[in-house]
Structure 1
Amino acid sequence: MTSSTVTSSHPERPPRPNLAFRRLRGRRSPAEFAALVRRAAREIGERVSCDARYVGRVEAGEIRCPNYAYERVFLHMFPGRTLTDLGFAPRSAVRGRAARTAGQARAVPDETRGARGPYDTQNPHDPAGPDPSGDPHEPYANDPWNHEESDVLRRAFMTGTGATVAAATLAPLGLTTGAAAAGRPPRRVGVPEAAALEEAVRRIRLLDDRHGADGLYRRAAAPLRAAYALLDAGATRQTTTDRLHAGAGELAISVGWLAHDSGRFDDARSHYAEALATARMTGDPGLETHAFCNSAFLARDAGRPREAVRAAQAAQRAGRALGSDRLMSLLALREAGGWAGLADRTGCEQALTRAQALFARGRSDADPEWMSFYGEAELEGLEAQCWSALGDWRRASRHARRAARLQDPHFTRNIALYTAELAGDLAHEGRPDEAAEAGLRVLGLLDQVQSSRIRTMLAATARTLLPHRRAPGVTDFLDRHASLPRTGRA
């Protein structure tokens, strides 16, 4: 591993073992504890590459303060505790590393400069870097990888539209502007470009979870064009080439989902097909499974339920060897949605039973990173959609209510989606006052969420409630819905 050129704020002081963190590990081995950390990260939508070596460095005191992502994971694992309680030093005590000189920056080899993403250049599974004073994933104040709560992003999230947020968030990756986006990729493609591509996928998913797809789609298309330009340029190492192909495929799926959620079904179908072609070309079963999974969901929403069933079954064939029960559970739900669209109650119930049984087996290290959204709330939400398609409104509303209650409050878009589903189910069930109340809650979230899918669901609920205009709360919902500004596609 490349040695650090960064001077600790207290270079003369030897590392002090973190005994508090060691006590929290208990009788688990470092590897077992690292697996728990990764699992906790997935529960809150974070991605950390924790392994036994990272745990060892924390316990040895070599990492005096974790980065923001690890901080969120540790505080999630040990609620009520602070970083100090976990044996770490205050962040202010290790922030002196930001004052890097130009000479120090030049001392870092070219191949590693800028590759401050989740991978070390020597070991892609090693999250621990060379800096002895803190976690190397903590961004420097002037580092282009500083994607934590910067002033620019805070302002964009608080005051901007989806397009503003996307521009502020994706531009620092170097995938929206410059030579690559213009079709002139760098002469040599290496680890920094692969890491930037992977980070673009994560940011798009995070933005969609929090804000919805409208306004993001066109902005996200630029990184996708850049990704395929990087592929055309080629890489010096096969491992980097594999990462570029996988990243481009996942990015195509993410952009396809933005198109899907904003009602651009033809665009979404094209992006998913592009990802599937990439997967087939490189022999990547994980990417192939993901592409078929999203294609099944799209086919269901586009009114092609038989295609949805076939795509979901193809995804299950491709994904069986991956060893993830949670993945197979989600794919069974995709199949159930297709059967529901065909009004095949028996086929739907059988697929739902499989999905629930597989889900009950729990998470594993084999679960793909992109499945971080799939928890109990999503299971309930997708089952609600199945019962809704079958016209069993009571069951549908029960599952939709559970989904909205179980959803992590950070994922505003999903809360709005599940609550919109609940409003529609209650309206069809003949409970207009409760439907209006749920609809009003969704309307209150639309300043944070931009999703044509959710707006379409609300419009359908409003039409269903029109005959009940005199019912308590319904008039207020209908009036507020009618006053919504019409928004074009960004």
Structure 2
Amino acid sequence: MTGNFRLKTAMAERGFQQAELAQAVNAQLLAAGERDSVGERTVRTWLTGRTTWPHRAKRNALEAVFRCTIETLGFYPPGSPAPPQEDPEVIRRRFLADAGGTAAAAMPLVSVRPSSVGTSEVIRLRDSIERLIALDDERGGHTTLERAALAGAAEALDLQQRSTTQRVRARLFALASDFTSTAAWSLIDAGQLDGASRHLDRALTLAVMVQDPEMTMKVWNLRAMLARQQKDFGEAVAAAQAAQATWAARRSPLHASLAHARTAVGLANAGDRRAALRSLGRAEDAMAKADTTAPRPAWIAFYSPAELHSLTAIVRDRVGDPAEAEAASYRALAALPETYRRNRAHTTARLALSQLHQGDVEQACDTGAEVFEIMAGDPLPGRMRQLLGDFHRDLITLAPPRIAHEWADRYRSEWSTA
């Protein structure tokens, strides 16, 4: 016998393949609040005996999965002798005895093979997140949306502990990632950036755990947006390039277009005009190849030629082409669906900036005022308030003081309480 035969026996008794054991261990790590995770390669090092004493968190997770001590599973600390080779039947009986004994009873367990959870729960949770995304499209990010998304993630993780199939567990982990990244986006849009990074770290862990390309790209896309809000433009570019490298972007022109457009925004903010326009061209080329009528995941439903025009306006304004930015904003507004109220208001604010940067002060003030009309009845998300703050600061710089003060006085109550 070679390698860790006790672990092989325990896996056979539980019906685990390497990938399934990795997922079960990851579930225990996540339930314990650990940020670490394992994959099939790690499981192979356990089975071959290359790793004889996993890290503490992984040892605890293995004990919880198999309901026995780590020594029963054939592991031993450095400097200790390896367990003696024994007859497979003896090992099996010891494992079964230990797994049902007092050592396991004392452990806080997450059940691995309990009552069935199936596709109906996956569909229900998917419908729930689609409703949250639709609410965000209309109103923008807010703390109520964050709480609802985190509750959905918690439910998905709870259900995966009670699932009996690897396929359903993977879908539930992916949904947990989707919910958690949606919570992160709600904070980004609300301008509450501190908690967003923590949510994105967890969402990425969940997505990578089950190798879900859609959720992996969603997280990198949001990471690029968060870094730009934090004015860390180097990280914004790196995150957007990571989105480009995902399998989702490699196989889908629509996803690729979004990743290139996000890269262009980061490069424009970093002051690299040539590279920004080159990335923008790639985004346009990929969009021309995309089938915009085909079904797509809810998280990327917002991205369309209209949204690309909006991102083009940002890039063009940042690299010093305000006239081109104004034209792109008008194209975006003409194509945006009426239900995308937050996007329409945001693009209108960008239009006002491009007009101001061309010296059209009165027109820019009138356009800026339209933002409040579009969002009437709902508070402005923090990200939109910040954009209007940029408009006001540029107005002070570029317009006569009287006009800047009049605009601020007229809209201060709606702006400051939004």
- What TM-score does the superposition give when structure 1 sets the normalisation length? 0.57
Partner residue of 1:452?
A: 382
Partner residue of 1:387?
A: 316
Equivalences for residues 152-191 of structure 1 within 5 A = 188-191=116-119
Partner residue of 1:56?
A: none
Equivalences for residues 112-131 of structure 1 within 5 A = none
- Count of matched residue pairs: 303
Q: 1:220 aligns with which of 121, 145, 149?
A: 149
1:423 partnered with 2:355: no
Residues 184-204 of structure 1: per-residue CA shift (max 9 Å, x gap): 9x9543333222221121011
CA distance in 2, matches of 1:483, 1:369: 35
1:196 partnered with 2:124: yes
Structure with greater proportional helix content: 2
Say if 1:319 and 1:327, in contact at 8 Å, map to a contact too.
no
Distance 1:320 1:245, change over 3 A: closer
Say if 1:337 and 1:385, in contact at 8 Å, map to a contact too.
yes
1:263 partnered with 2:173: no
CA distance in 2, matches of 1:445, 1:475: 22
Q: Which amino acid aligns with 2:226?
A: L
* Residue 347 (structure 1) shift: 0.8
Q: 1:205 aligns with which of 110, 130, 133?
A: 133
* Residue 225 (structure 1) shift: 2.7
CA distance in 2, matches of 1:319, 1:430: 44
Partner residue of 1:409?
A: 338
Q: Which amino acid aligns with 2:189?
A: D
* Residue 475 (structure 1) shift: 6.8
Equivalences for residues 72-91 of structure 1 within 5 A = none
Where do 5+ consecutive residues of structure 2 fail to align?
1-109
Partner residue of 2:412?
A: 482
Equivalences for residues 46-445 of structure 1 within 5 A = 188-215=116-143, 216-231=145-160, 233-319=161-247, 323-363=251-291, 365=294, 367-445=296-374
CA distance in 1, matches of 2:247, 2:324: 30
Larger radius of gyration: 2
Compare 359-368 and 233-242 and name the one that shifted more.
Answer: 359-368
Say if 2:187 and 2:195, in contact at 8 Å, map to a contact too.
yes
Residues 344-403 of structure 1: per-residue CA shift (max 9 Å, x gap): 111101101100011011316585442211111100111111122223322222212221
Distance 1:429 1:351, change over 3 A: same
1:463 partnered with 2:393: yes
User: What secondary structure is seen at the aligned counterpart in 2 of 1:483?
Assistant: helix
Q: Which amino acid aligns with 2:400?
A: H
Distance 1:414 1:321, change over 3 A: closer
CA distance in 1, matches of 2:254, 2:246: 14
* Residue 262 (structure 1) shift: 0.6
Q: Which amino acid aligns with 1:317?
A: A
CA distance in 1, matches of 2:235, 2:188: 16
Where do 5+ consecutive residues of structure 1 fail to align?
1-182
Say if 1:272 and 1:295, in contact at 8 Å, map to a contact too.
yes
CA distance in 1, matches of 2:250, 2:175: 18
* Residue 326 (structure 1) shift: 0.8
CA distance in 1, matches of 2:142, 2:295: 32
CA distance in 2, matches of 1:411, 1:321: 24
User: What secondary structure is seen at the aligned counterpart in 2 of 1:239?
Assistant: helix
Identical aligned residues as a percent? 32
What root-mean-square deviation, in Å, do the aligned CA atoms of Structure 1 and Structure 2 show? Answer: 2.6
User: What secondary structure is seen at the aligned counterpart in 1 of 2:245?
Assistant: helix
Say if 2:217 and 2:248, in contact at 8 Å, map to a contact too.
no
